[in-house]
Amino acid sequence: MKHTQINFAEKLALFSELWTPKVIAQMNDYQFKLVKLKGDFVWHDHKDTDETFIVLKGSLRIDFRDGFVNIGAGEMYVVPKGVEHKPYAEQQAEVLLIEPRGVINTGDGDVSEHTASNDIWI
Amino acid sequence: MKHTQINFAEKLALFSELWTPKVIAQMNDYQFKLVKLKGDFVWHDHKDTDETFIVLKGSLRIDFRDGFVNIGAGEMYVVPKGVEHKPYAEQQAEVLLIEPRGVINTGDGDVSEHTASNDIWI
């Protein structure tokens, strides 16, 4: 059996679209997704699950209804389930998301133009 | 509510022991653990869960019964459940582990001198 590591930089070089998470690995029923962010996203929440953000490059701000958090490269944050949040990146940021397979990027409400295709592997 | 990011370097500065994973965050029932590795660990497996290694600094080799994988900084690997493996680091490496809460570092067999205390938060 061949065992192959996953290189974040190599995977990030494979796409340029913003706000479209790409799956690079799965652990049990959780997926690891790379995403490039710039500008403002939409307010949303995930009713049934926490969501992890690990910033690989750049800096990300997540706004909450009661505050915000800045996450830089080499930092992480876990958004608790059911908590409304809105990611924002002034400059382009590269982020590793970890969440259960099947989570929709815009939350549990209606789909919108911001809703990305799910389970897209690179 | 105060929202605070988690900085890997700051957390890594809080301990120096090898092979003793420290919990820094939890997502649902999964934990994020920082660990410093050097030298050889013991062969073990986790019967019920995959285990994720993300290398933050240095380089890690994981031996399998049928091969090995080298994981450098900026790379990750998911060890499938039930697969025997033995981590090894020639120079000290700093690693982020992700696995369900309650996983024992030496696997599901008998505890040994290599078995670390579980659920230790920093």
ipTM of this complex prediction, to 2 decimal places: 0.95
Q: For the stretch B64-75, what's the b/e string if a residue is b when 16 or more beta carbons lie within 10 angstroms of its beta carbon? A: beeeebebeebb
Tens of pLDDT, residue by residue over B24-50, are 999 999 999 999 999 999 999 999 999
DSSP at A48: T
- In degrees, rounded to 5, the angle at the alpha carbon of residue A76 between the alpha carbons of residues A85 and B39 is 160
Taking contacts as CB-CB distances below 8 angstroms, the residues of chain B near A100 are: 28
**Residue B98 in contact with residue B10, Cβ under 8 Å?**
no
CA-based nearest distance B9→chain A, Å: 7
Question: What superfamily does domain B18-100 belong to in CATH?
Answer: Jelly Rolls (2.60.120.10)
Q: Do A5 and B69 touch (CB under 8 A)?
A: yes
Longest C-alpha distance within chain B, in Å?
50
Residue-wise pLDDT for B65-121, tens only, equals 999 999 999 999 999 999 999 999 999 999 999 999 988 899 887 778 889 988 999
**Are A77 and B6 a contacting pair, CB within 8 Å?**
yes
- CATH of region A34-104, choose from 2.60.120.10, 2.60.110.10, 3.40.50.300, 3.90.1010.10: 2.60.120.10
Report domain extents, chain B. 18-100
Which residues of chain A are modeled with pLDDT < 50? Answer: none
Rg, C-alpha atoms of chain B: 14
- Residue B69 contacts A, CB cutoff 8 Å: yes
